[in-house]
Chain A
Amino acid sequence: MAARPAKSSKPPRLKQTPTTKDAPTKMVAPRPEKFNKEQELAAYREMLLIRRFEEKAGQLYGMGFIGGFCHLYIGQEAVVVGMQMAMIEGDQVITGYRDHGHMLACGMSPDGVMAELTGRRGGLSKGKGGSMHMFSKEKNFYGGHGIVGAQVSLGTGLGFANQYRDNGNVSLTYFGDGASNQGQVYESFNMASLWKLPVIYIIENNRYAMGTAVSRASAQTDFAQRGASFNIPGMQVDGMDVRAVKAAADLAADYCRSGQGPIILEMQTYRYRGHSMSDPAKYRSKDEVQKMRAEHDPIEQVKLRLIEGKHASEDDLKAIDKEIRDIVAKSADYAQNDPEPDPSELYTDILR
């Protein structure tokens, strides 16, 4: 009988071989960029549009106008708005199923997004995609994907196409802390780094993969280091501060456009709502949510700076609020009254 190793309470010690000759892949995020008045106001409007839109979507879901799954972006607005501020014409965006905010930030019509949520013919996918599957060729938005992690390989393919065409564009590939544990993410990291593809991997770490806290699902919770095995640099960014996101986005875009390959931005953010509309969010305390809203809300931060910097008065902001509410109310109205798709649409768009 083979001898069993003696049980020991101490784990065996391994000889450590220092490997410091390789460049460290963990980068320090740049300081938040100082915004001028126009940038602050633009960020405020964009984020407010997403928040009000999502609140309305939640309401329409409650009224039965929106079916199936509906994942709201409330709390995470600074991430996509800050990223978009660094982008140029032709850069592509792709994300998972929490996608309404990304579409609005890409300039897709609120009417079209909302009508897709209600499954109507004026929806961006003619009512055939729904909340999780929307696209816009015109705005370079490549979805909208319901399979966790699939967009990472697809987004890497968008970067591949940019390199193939040598067009100077980058692919903004968004995914969450949950998707970060999928195998195809690392297959994609490997090829992106090997081939120096222009891809910014934006990990929106909102701390929960559905109901599982990052510490319960991830052996390495520093997502900026998830590319270390592939020599992909990464940094952790305050995803609640739109200026910090913008500064990191500029750095990342320059890095990719200069042909150095992919880069990872871990956006430390938070979703206020449950994972989807049917999630009571019992896996976290109310205090945690409340503290985040009170101290780190991305919109309130900008609002405060606008007032304190005398860039806008309370009345100015109220006027913007009203304008945004009107846009959202119009989209809700359109989405409720637009007809359902014609039955003949059942058999279209299967093949070209």
Chain B
Amino acid sequence: MPTNILMPALSPTMEEGNLAKWLVKEGDTVSSGDVIAEIETDKATMEVEAVDEGTIARIVVPAGSEAVKVNAVIAILAAEGEDVAAAASGGPAGAEAMPQVAEAPKEAVSQDAGSSAAGGGAPAPTHVPAQVKVADDPDIPAGTEMVSMTVREALNSAMAEEMRRDEDVLIMGEEVAEYQGAYKITQGLLEEFGARRVIDTPITEHGFAGIGVGAAMAGLKPIVEFMTFNFAMQAIDQIINSAAKTLYMSGGQMGAPMVFRGPNGAAARVAAQHSQCYAAWYSHIPGLKVVQPYTAADAKGLLKAAIRDPNPVIFLENEILYGQSFEVPKIEDFVLPIGKARIHRSGGDATIVSFGIGMTYAIKAADRLAEAGISCEVIDLRTIRPMDLDTVIASVRKTGRLVTVEEGFPQSSVGDHIASQVMQRAFDYLDAPVVTICGKDVPMPYAANLEKLALPTVDEVVEAVKAVSYA
């Protein structure tokens, strides 16, 4: 059967083009790879190569033709042994057989995007990440012994326990082994687990992050420590384009079961390049989980969960919190669910939502507000993605007032996302606009007084709660 030679699409956007020139004439024999014509597209003049072998039986679209539609028959090719004259007179074989590429059904797109909580015919909320199933917190049995532990000790013991449990878990990063960790989080791990599993890297974040992702794709469970998340900017392509997206791009065949961890956000007097919160950045990315604990118990239980999680987890710590002590339940194998917020204290008048070091402002503010007779419910998100909005919304339904607190920059902040979701899902329950307390919209200054001004303050949180309470 003769073969139709079709007008090819030569770019992702081309719909038609000009047939500038034929380089063959009727009766010529061609083999695959021969250039047979030149076509002008909107971008360039391109050569068309023959795919099949045979004789040009007829040129259907003459040279110089303009606006020839993609897939129009431009010539007819008779295969070896076929009657060229018959092929030429027969008209395009199976003409008008335009390929049918079905359009993706549009209505299905938002089907899983959460349910409308506000009722009253409110539109379905948008921009909701795909739903993730989250387990409940384990019950801590009454009478469980609590031990005081710093966040540093909690993180260290979480890694040590998981490395004892699973031979595939390893840690790599700058100064994690012989130096014992720039912030001593990996202290003692080299001694216990050896240089095979506790690996000092050169100062090459992009490279070792990529090596970590590759090792994870091969089935290992690396913990990649960044000395601070500021330096992870060097590696952000590997975190997002390789670690977060591979599971989806491979149709579920392989992903990156690993943890990227290290201190995040402002420390003290280290200025703009070393003082930035990346919670909102990473929370933007489907395919990542993002955790930022406040207490030592959460640090321990969530880091253990992150190491066991089959997905890439961004685990954001805070240098200032490393040395703070908290009560940690003395339970063997204490693992907490990722994606579950914790009600730090109950209250009925206003809701304050925060995470990580932001909790220090929220708690102090709640103490002062209690003295003033305003009872605040303080929610520690613990996980930024997947975000436990149900807990936040349940609280807002009770209090009708919401203030968020974080150290990150204000535009597109975590608080912005919470405010938007609460507006879409619980608008009718709000008695006042949501207030988001963030770091100021400036690079972190060095001078002590300016640095203080750039961060949120307890006063700001107190004032915000009073404002939404019309108190």
Contact = CB atoms under 8 A, between A and B. Distances in A.
Interface size, A (range):
35 or more
Given A137-B254, A157-B218, A187 B10 contact: no
22 contacts: A59-B51, A61-B8, A63-B9, A63-B99, A68-B12, A126-B251, A127-B251, A133-B250, A135-B250, A150-B237, A156-B210, A158-B217, A187-B202, A191-B202, A191-B207, A277-B9, A277-B11, A278-B44, A280-B44, A349-B250, A351-B311, A352-B255
Contact of B214 (A67, A142, A343): A142
A170 interface: no
B206 interface: yes
Interface string B458-470: 0000000000000
B201 A191 contact: yes
Nearest to A343: B108
Interface of A: 55-56, 58-59, 61-65, 67-69, 74, 92, 94, 123-129, 133-137, 142-147, 150, 152-162, 164, 171, 183-184, 186-188, 190-191, 194, 272, 274, 277-282, 293, 336, 340, 343-344, 346-352
B249 A125 contact: yes
A133 B287 CA distance: 16
A161 B220 contact: yes
Contacts of A281: 47
Contact of A153 (B70, B214, B251): B214
What 4 pairs between A and B have smallest CB-CB spacing?
A157-B214, A153-B210, A187-B207, A62-B8
A123 B14 CA distance: 25
A62 to B, nearest CB: 3
B249 A350 contact: no
Interface of B: 6-12, 14, 32-33, 41, 43-49, 51, 70-71, 99, 101-102, 104-105, 108-109, 111-112, 130-132, 170, 196, 201-202, 204, 206-220, 237-238, 241-242, 246-255, 257, 286-287, 289, 310-311
Given A150-B238, A187-B202, A350-B286, 5 more contacts: A157-B211, A162-B218, A184-B210, A343-B109, A349-B252
A27 B219 CA distance: 34
B211 A125 contact: no
A115 B168 CA distance: 35
B32 A158 contact: no
A191 B213 contact: no
A64 B209 contact: no
B237 A129 contact: no
Given A128-B248, A190-B202, A153 B44 contact: no
Contacts of A56: 51
B225 to A, nearest CB: 15
A148 to B, nearest CB: 10
Contact of B132 (A63, A161, A351): A351
Contacts of A343: 104-105, 108-109, 111
Contacts of A68: 12
B299 to A, nearest CB: 22
B44 A350 contact: no
A161 B247 contact: no
Contacts of A279: 44
A282 B46 CA distance: 9
